[in-house]
Structure 1
Amino acid sequence: MSVNRTELVAAVAERSSLTKTQADAALSALQEVLVDSLGKGEAVKVTGLLSVERVERAARTGRNPRTGEEIQIPAGYGVKISAGSALKKAVAAK
């Protein structure tokens, strides 16, 4: 089971006494901050919840799964998300 955006907005609105429109705007703002910060190479850390950072991936040799042919994968960037202590406790308790 997972929570989609509509359900997340409704839950945030209920717990924060915001309207659904305000909660949706706050979630959109969080998304914009994450995208902008990671695009600049800045990490975003919410103590106890999570940290998100851009990581560099080195160029490497891969293999085409259909043909078995070796291919060169260029260097690039990825995103690393680490759970904070509150998330780790929530998962361990279940």
Structure 2
Amino acid sequence: MNKSELVEHIANQADISKAAATRALDAITGAVRTTLKKGGTVSLVGFGSFSVTKRPARTGRNPRTGAAIKIKSAKVPKFRPGKALKDALN
């Protein structure tokens, strides 16, 4: 499912226009992005939690030359599914 299909599904389920569904989806993703940027977590009970973890610096290899390269540390988003979501899939 891509963004346009998700917007269409939201619009049908909530009985709102596609424009309103797009604004709602953009507001949600923006709120998650802003919270994670500040180092916080977003918990949606029954769905899951979004958080930020730090990936340490490491040494990698250039696949073309085989030379060792340094990969910087980075903050990466993490999603942990909730119990209700796990149960719905099994």
Say whether the fold is shared (TM-score over 0.5): yes
For 2:77 and 2:68, the matched residues in 1 are separated by: 25
Shift in Å, 1:19? 1.6
TM-score, length-scaled by structure 1: 0.88
Structure 1, unmatched stretches of 5+, are none
Residue 74 of structure 2 is matched in structure 1 by: 76
Give the superposed CA RMSD: 1.1
Equivalent residues, number? 90
Residue 36 of structure 1 is matched in structure 2 by: 34
TM-score, length-scaled by structure 2: 0.91
SS in 2 for 1:37: helix
For 1:34 and 1:45, the matched residues in 2 are separated by: 10
Structure 2, unmatched stretches of 5+, are none
Residue 13 of structure 2 is matched in structure 1 by: 15
For 1:88 and 1:29, the matched residues in 2 are separated by: 25
State the 4+ residue runs in structure 1 displaced beyond 4 angstroms. Answer: none
Residue 25 of structure 1 is matched in structure 2 by: 23
Shift in Å, 1:39? 0.7
Q: Percent identity?
A: 39
SS in 1 for 2:21: helix
